[in-house]
Structure 1
Amino acid sequence: MDLPKHDSPHLHLVVATPEELLAQQNANSTEWRGTLSLEAYLRREEHLLDLPLTRNGGLTAWMLVYAPSDSDSRRVICGCESIKKKALIAKDGKLEDGVAHGVASVFCPPKFRGRGYAGRMIEEVGKRLEGWQVEEGERSAFSVLFSDIGKTFYARHEWQPFPSAHIALPAQSTEQERGMPAVRLLKDSDLAELCKADEKLMRSNLARSSTSSGRSTVALVPDPATFQWHAAREDFVNGELHLCQGSLQDRRGVIAGDDPGSRVWCYWTRLWTKPQDEAPSTLHITRLVIEDEGNPAKVDAIAALLRAAQSEAKASGMDEVQLWNPSQTMVAAARQLAPNVEMVHREKASIASLRWYGEGSWENVDWAYNEKYGWC
């Protein structure tokens, strides 16, 4: 076909049919399937569509299509997906519930690149998401994506880069050091209670920290559906490729302490890469929660969690443990284990980017709890 210009009136943003989504998954598989075969990748995507986070319209497949007239069949140019998420917005001491969307699987076939199509699609998707799946009484707060092509492209289309840093610890089999707090494994059955406690604490912290800044602070809610989605991706890959000895299911993280109000815990997920990839296989700490962060003793408890994560990473065939955008307390704990740990500021991969729909400029917005659990 004769390729249209990126501003052609015959290009339209649409919700994909099941057939169009399958065709797009076949096309984007070389970039997004990782260690999986094409057939396994397609099964994983089908499996992930039937989770609490994504089913019943939780995931929307968007396509930019070319349709010269109503009588012509449309042709998919490029596509992406969005996942509806719960959000919180705080300003001047007031806390509000809202809707956010995470954008993922942005893909334009090589034959269509360099023509402005992806830019048009992502800009239109950003506008559409402002009112997408927002019910009466709800507020569309913001949308996020995690760029693997640097900071410039998405910023040109109003998706601004936010802090994207991490620390890394090597995977290693090490016993808990004498004097470290004891930890226990977290299982799927722990999610509901801990997520409830986490959200309650998050709400309190956001309302308190926003009382006098005049800025808006936003966060994605760390609910059970989000962690179940991460766990399902991991379980599928390991079950398909048998990358680890024994089952990793129901080994979701670790917790130190038993008394509510004084506990520290973290969840994790594993990401295996191909041997030829430059990126290491990584155990990502998706969320680290400190119920009493002002207590200096929590540094030792966090160190115990990180030590357990290192051992879990080694047993899982990982190269390292990553913790995104850690607090000073978390960095201090990591340096108990590896004194030379330094913050890595990412410039190309997994750039946390946010499109703001609220009042004022995005420059007056803080993204709190910008951790791996928000990635999709």
Structure 2
Amino acid sequence: MGSAGVSLDGDLLAGDSPHLELVLATPEEHLETIRMNSRAWKGLLDLDQYIEREHRLSQQNLTKNGALTCWILVDGRLPPNSRTILSSCETYLKPAYLAYKGNVEEIICHGIGSVFARPEFRGRGYAGRMMEELSKKLDTWQSENQPRKQGVFSVLFSDIGKKFYTRYGWKPYLSSHMTLPPINEDHLKVSVALAKLPVARPMSAEDVRQSMCSEIVEHKQRNLLQVASQKSPGAKVAISPDYDHMLWHWARENYYVEMGVFDDKKPSVRGAAVDSQNVFCTWVRTVGDTKSSHTLHILRFSYDEPASPSIELSTIEAIAAVLRRAQFEAHALNVQKVEFWNPTSLVVKAAKLLDPDAQVFHRDESSICSLKWNGAKQGLGDDVEWFWNEKYSWC
């Protein structure tokens, strides 16, 4: 199945072979895909640790009970557990929203991750064939109990630029970020006082659940999408920023703590809040290639859209306050930077309030946010806007 030195029949030497099929991996084959891609992605973990990390993540609320699917491209003539894996990927079933002409629907979408082509067979078109077949599969995959019976959209985050996945329908969307450096406690206190910022309180995981992922917040999110779909043409979609997404990211971080990659205990501070302005954010530590390149990623910002210039200024100052708290936590956790994806205009203004030289960086190669839209053939038009395209939705 996955042994070194495998050979292929002559009629399988190109990605357009009629004998190639994209199929569901057996548990044994899924494990083999993890072993194969570990060479590229295990980073600071050894093989056994990497396998255990993937197992732990597969048991999270976001991914268990069939929400995680492993796909493999193989010779369809061979039986399971006897076929050479030419390419592989995973898909994640995610709750999502669709807003169109004032109507908001709760739907599902799929996130695509772990796209891997077997190194010894690269250049033959297998990865492209896999994505072509996956595009067809996801049109109806796990949609049998959905009102539409069809998938509306899927997403992926490309680390190989913008061209490859575009060929198969996943078009690149805004992929930008800003960074801020860590600061110590004295810097935090002085800068907050000088700028006359509100004091941001630290949030625990339970605080994040109540303040950012509650039913009340969900209702506000639906209303925002509804209003947006009434104000401008085109469909609006969003991956639900629910608590299960946050738990998945934190479980990943916690595993690295257990393995000693992060050399401290599991953090108790999971975000920051300025309650008087209804401004909140939550974050997670992510692993770099070396211990000196770890990052504190903001998973999600949450705030009310300001209704006046004075409220806008207060909101910007509150966002700046939670960012300052994130910078302090980055210092406490010994990571090198705070990073946040696709900042809104208010977040950009808040960051520049803290550091006038802070810039928005547009990515061209890594973590390119990409979306495949199937709504046109469902009467939803050709245009779609991706709301809340933040780090929490990464997979």
Same fold, judged at TM 0.5 (above): yes
Deviation of 1:212 after TM superposition, in Å, equals 4.0
Equivalent position to 1:15, from 11, 24, 39: 24
Partner of 1:226: 245
For residues 81-100 of structure 1, what are the structure 2 equivalents within 5 Å? Answer: 81-100=90-109
Percent identical: 40
Offset from partner CA, 1:261-311 (integer Å, 9 cap, x none): x4111110111212399xx42111010000244422011110011111111
Match of 1:252 among 270, 277, 298: 270
> Normalized against structure 1, the TM-score is what?
0.93
1:288 matches 2:307: no
1:329 CA displacement: 0.7
The alignment status of 1:366 with 2:385, answered yes or no, reads: yes
Asked if the contact 1:10–1:69 (Cα under 8 Å) also holds between the matched residues in 2, the reply is no
Report the Cα offset of residue 74 of structure 1: 2.0
Query: Of the candidates 135, 141, 155, which is equivalent to residue 144 of structure 1?
Result: 155
Instruction: Indicate which of 174, 184, 187 corresponds to 2:201.
Output: 184
Q: Can you list the C-alpha shifts for 1:325-358, whole angstroms capped at 9, x where unaligned?
A: 1111111100111101111000000000001111
Residue 22 of structure 1 and its aligned partner are, at CA, apart by: 0.7
2:3 corresponds to: none
In structure 2, relative to structure 1, the CA distance for the partners of 1:71 and 1:87 (3 Å cut) is: closer
Where does the alignment leave 5 or more consecutive residues of structure 2 unmatched?
1-6
* SS class of match (1:126): helix
Partner of 1:195: 213
Distance 2:223 2:329 in 1: 32
1:171 and 1:122 mapped to 2: Cα distance?
40
- Which of these residues, 38, 49, 53, is aligned with residue 58 of structure 2? 49
Residue 155 of structure 1 and its aligned partner are, at CA, apart by 0.2
Aligned CA RMSD, in angstroms, stands at: 1.9
Instruction: List alignment gaps of at least 5 residues for structure 1.
Output: none
Partner of 2:257: 238
Greater shift, 337-346 or 179-188, is seen at: 179-188
Relative distance call for 1:330 and 1:23 in structure 2 (3 A) is same
Does the 8 A contact of 1:244 with 1:317 survive in 2? no
Q: CA deviation at 1:135?
A: 3.7
Change (3 A) 1:242 1:29: closer
* 1:211-260, Cα deviation, whole Å (9 max, x unpaired): 14220111010111111000000110122115233x233321111115xx
Q: Write the mapping of 1:1-376 to structure 2, written as runs, cut at 5 A.
A: 1-2=7-8, 4=12, 5-68=14-77, 73-139=82-148, 140-173=151-184, 174-176=187-189, 177-178=192-193, 179-193=196-210, 194-196=212-214, 197-245=216-264, 247-257=265-275, 262-275=277-290, 280-294=293-307, 295-296=311-312, 297-359=314-376, 364-376=383-395
Number of residue pairs aligned between Structure 1 and Structure 2: 370
Given that 2:300 and 2:392 are in contact with CA atoms closer than 8 Å, whether structure 1 keeps it comes out as yes
Question: Taking structure 1 as reference, are residues 92 and 138 closer, same or farther at Cα in structure 2, changes over 3 Å only?
Answer: same
8 Å Cα contact 2:273-2:322 kept in structure 1: yes
- Which structure has the highest helix share of the two? 2
8 A Cα contact 2:208 2:270, kept in partner: no
- Partner of 2:97, secondary structure, is strand
State how far apart, in whole Å, the 2-side matches of 1:276 and 1:110 are. 27
2:201 is paired with a residue whose SS is: strand
Q: For the residues of structure 1 that align with 2:166 and 2:134, how far apart are their CA atoms?
A: 14
TM-score (norm 2): 0.89
Q: How far, CA to CA, are the matches of 2:126 and 2:272 in structure 1?
A: 44
Cα shift readout 1:45-85 (whole Å, capped 9, x = no counterpart): 11111111111101001111124456993221110001100
